[in-house]
Chains A and B, each alone.
Chain A
């Protein structure tokens, strides 16, 4: 079974801090994704990566950056955390370069910015 592991389930940070969310997958998937999930809204794509060192902006990239130095690891960075970035963050991976493959999700990181 595919395992997508997010480094933290819960995280509390302060406004202005630089925050790193880490995601690792163990199935050699090409595609990796970062979403945020807020009550009443569908998942919103922040960034995705289809290969090492490659990244594409999603729907809401502002205030975020990503890093993919190794195939198995995809990091989401909040450059200067703000309270409106308090949310559930979900990482996912999928096989192949096409986006028509099922995505496998981590358990999520609930991030609070105080």
Chain B
């Protein structure tokens, strides 16, 4: 069983829809990262959070430490949001980063 599971693996939605991508993990963590990878390959860090909620523009990330779960939300989705979204957790035991396999999001106009 993977220590970091993302769902769904693939998501196709219409422009304007509210998007939710989930990340569940099974280890103790000190922080969780959400990153975005565009088709060209480059990866951009979106959020790093260890509790509560963070917001940046139309993106919102939440984490529930007790439930070992985080969500990434996109409001008013746009085709330019089409990308792979990756969750990674920083283990609190050894500061190793464990990566999820990513969620491929396609927003259709």
List the interface of chain A (C-beta within 8 A of B). Answer: 9, 40-45, 88, 90, 92, 98-100, 102-108, 110
Asked if B42 contacts A107 (CB within 8 A), the reply is yes
| Chain A, residue nearest B98 (CB) | A42
Q: Does B41 contact A (CB under 8 A)?
A: yes
Q: List 19 A-B contacts (CB under 8 A).
A: A41-B101, A42-B2, A43-B86, A43-B88, A44-B99, A90-B41, A92-B43, A99-B96, A100-B30, A100-B31, A100-B90, A102-B33, A102-B45, A103-B33, A105-B35, A105-B43, A105-B44, A105-B45, A108-B43
A interface, over-half SS: loop
Asked if A99 contacts B42 (CB within 8 A), the reply is no
B interface, over-half SS: strand
| Chain B, residue nearest A2 (CB) | B45
List the interface of chain B (C-beta within 8 A of A). Answer: 2, 4, 30-31, 33, 35, 40-45, 48, 86, 88, 90, 95-102
Most interface-central of A9, A92, A102 (chain B CB within 10 A): A102
